[in-house]
Amino acid sequence: MNDDFLFANDTGEEDETFSIGSWKVIIVDDEPEVHAVTKLALSDFIFQDRKLEFISAYSGAEGKKVITENPDAAIILLDVVMETDDAGLQVAQFIREEANNHKIRIILRTGQPGQAPERQVILNYDINDYKSKTELTAQKLFTVIMSSLRAYRDIVALDNSRKGLTKIIEASADIFSIHSMDQFIDGVMQQLTSVIGCGNEKAMYITDTLMVNCENLRNKDGLTVIAAQGEFESSLGKNVKDVVNEELQAAFQEAISTKSIVYRGDYLVAYCYSRFSNNSILYVSGLPKEVSQTERTLIELFAQNVQIAYENVQLQLELEDTQRELVYRLSEALENRSNETGNHVRRVALISGVLAQAYGLNQKEVELVSCAAPLHDVGKISIPDNILHKPGQLLDDEWSIMQSHAETGAKILEGSNRSVIQAGSIIAQDHHENWDGTGYPKGKSGEDIHVYGRIVAMADVYDALRHDRCYKKAWNKDETIEFIKSESGKKFDPKLVQGLLNSVDKIEQIIEQFQEG
């Protein structure tokens, strides 16, 4: 080999990286001059504005280590015979089977082709090309690197598309599972970040998000903000003209007129539509300066689901509000029959939610207890007025009739497939049971009493003590707290008592907000 050619422009063994980005090429060969010649021959190689970054290894063992440390390498130029006659073949097998790397293009190079016949190697190993060192001229090396990079690029693009579509499915599922408008924009931001970031080293930091309703577009009201985050957080319900600058307003109008996604610098404005509504506009800032075509396709797919997801949240909220209002109204009717104000059931519902959260229940159960709590005394519908409204102490037979309302309420609500009604039945049954077993109707004790019943029992007693009743005057906060503490381990679950003491300020705020009358 000509030494003048070999070392004419050698830059040494230090790997070179490029700020514009590079394609990683691993060279595994036990001959240093092969590394030098390869780097020299490909020194000016550029593909899609990216140069080559060379990483050298001089044995099969070192090659395995390098491939493990650089899973994003595009090509490996792999010598067959190194420390052993099949060291290169072992590395190829390691790449596919142990490192599980099926993207990197493996090009085998050998100076002794007879020791590893090409047909046998092609059949037995997942390699992409097999060259004898004597035939691999500079031009042929250029050609094989170019074709290998194109193959690697396409494989990566396909894999990113697969990951992106997976993210679209996951993102849509997550967005559709959200039942709170407060969480909606958070969900959109998180999932859009995930969609754009998949298979990509670029970081994406969404800073501001805005969603506007196109319903009033044709009248003087124009676009209205329906969800927002970041600097727009306080703009809910406002006209877009009062919130954003003229440049952004123009981008909104362009997105509406073209019914598409408009990209401007580091933000996008997406027209989100469905056949069921008047559609909306989603604005997101903080994008990478360059969004690839694949990412734009994924954003378009995602944007198509955003409006439908928004409508799903709206519908879910409307159904929940309707259900809650029906429960409140029916429960209020019962409370009014008992000469108690309707606000009692609202306070018990909200206090139960606070106690459930303090007790450590998950958010779904907190909401369930809060929604079902107003049904706790539904069984009182069966109690005669002369007993229900009696100001003095009840006689034994009257007390037995009064106690029956717990089981009556449970029977009225039992058998439903609806979770709120099921929880209401449990609460009606257990909310007069005591921790020490002295309660009714079944004399349950401790954790045999359902936690929903324990929670609503405490909420009901606390609120009843804090307000006038036909048989008593209202107690102040300190008196009520002292009574609750004295009944810890007797009437009430001690853990719940501690939760109430830790949350008493929140509970008093509820009482202040929903006063009698």
From residue 335, give the alpha-carbon distance in Å to each of 378, 402, 421, 513. Answer: 9, 15, 18, 19
Residue 392 and residue 383 in contact, taking contact as beta carbons nearer than 8 Å: no
From residue 465, give the alpha-carbon distance in Å to each of 183, 476, 495. Answer: 36, 8, 20
Q: What are phi and psi of 393, to 5 degrees?
A: -70, 140
Question: Which residues share a beta bridge with 229?
Answer: 209
From residue 191, give the alpha-carbon distance in Å to each of 166, 269, 282, 360. Answer: 12, 16, 14, 28
C-beta atoms surrounding 117 within 10 Å: 11
What are the start-end ranges of the E strands in 194-352?
209-213, 224-229, 261-264, 267-272, 280-285
Among candidate residues 167, 380, 444, 491, the one labeled active-site is: 380
Residue 212 and residue 240 in contact, taking contact as beta carbons nearer than 8 Å: yes
Antiparallel, parallel or unpaired: β 224-229 and 209-213: antiparallel
Catalytic, 380? Answer yes
Which residue type sits at 389? H
Residue 28 and residue 88 in contact, taking contact as beta carbons nearer than 8 Å: yes
Task: Report how far residue 24's alpha carbon sits from residue 373's, in angstroms, rounded to the nearest whole number.
Answer: 63
Q: At CA 20, angle to CA 13 and CA 161, rounded to 5?
A: 110
Tokens encoding 107: 């090009």
Cα-trace Rg, the chain? 36
Question: Exposed, middle or buried: residue 183 (CB in 10 Å: 0-12, 13-18, 19+)?
Answer: middle
User: Which amino acids are annotated catalytic?
Assistant: 380
